[in-house]
Amino acid sequence: MKIVAATKILKANDQLAEENRARLNAAGVFAVNVVGSPGCGKTTLLEALFGHWRGRLRPAVIEGDIAGSVDAERIDALGVPVVQINTEGACHLDATMIAAAAESFDYAALDLLVIENVGNLVCPAGFDLGEHLRLVVLSVTEGDDKLIKYPAIFQRSHALVITKVDLLPHTNFKLDQAAAGMRRLAPEAAIFQVCALHGEGVAGLADWLVLQARAVPRSPSQSPRSQQS
């Protein structure tokens, strides 16, 4: 019998994630890992963002779901290149899956790779995919206590997007408590409030992500500045 320790699996994942990141960097593609519960509005947020990125960024999407392709079909309907990963039971994406899915894309034709992770606030926190930025989505209908109950995923994110804010009057969600919790867990993280379905707040997030994408480090061989003088 062979026992493989979880720390070893994570180490192998981290190594592959670095390789993914190196490939993205070499092509100047910025990658965002979108995490959050099932139904928090990840796909709806992406749909809303694409409208603001038209003509500014060339995006592609990797959709992670246990089964089916409903989200990938929604992205495809917007004319955005998309690959669906079916994890067949696994509750998170890992770097191997991203490496395999990325083969379908021509990185030279892209500026931004958005990875929509499997809906889950637990293990996606532990798996680096090779992204540059992790964006955690929390809908007001889930409750502001999620930051207390699932700290790791918020701690390891660079931005918190609070969604469905139009429903605030129908919930006991406290925006200030959620924001305070995020500042405690990830003091550097940016915080956004949006209603993706109707568009409020999406432009600001879209602009911020464009700025982040432009800051992607490129490999020395790709950088005009590294040319010999």
User: Which stretches of the chain bind Zn ion, using CB under 5 A?
Assistant: 91-92, 123
- Measured CA to CA, the distance from residue 138 to residue 162 in angstroms comes to 5
The answer to whether the CB of 105 falls within 8 A of the CB of 74 is no
Q: How far is the CB of 156 from Zn ion (least distance, A)?
A: 14
Q: Cα dihedral angle (18, 21, 23, 29), rounded to 10 degrees? A: 180
Residue 43 within binding range of Mg ion, rule CB under 5 A: yes
Q: How far is the CB of 169 from Mg ion (least distance, A)?
A: 25
Give the three-state DSSP class for 167: helix
Q: Tell me which residues in 66-95 interact with Mg ion (CB under 5 A).
A: 71
Residue 42 within binding range of Mg ion, rule CB under 5 A: yes
Residue 111 within binding range of Mg ion, rule CB under 5 A: no
Among Zn ion, Mg ion, none, partner that 146 touches (CB below 5 to 8 angstroms by kind): none
Among Zn ion, Mg ion, none, partner that 43 touches (CB below 5 to 8 angstroms by kind): Mg ion
List strand residue ranges (DSSP E) for the chain, in order: 30-36, 59-65, 82-86, 112-116, 133-139, 159-163, 190-193
**Per rule CB under 5 A, count of chain residues that contact Mg ion:** 3
Q: How far is the CB of 90 from Zn ion (least distance, A)?
A: 6
- Measured CA to CA, the distance from residue 70 to residue 37 in angstroms comes to 16
Task: Provide the binding-site residues for Mg ion, judged by CB under 5 A.
Answer: 42-43, 71
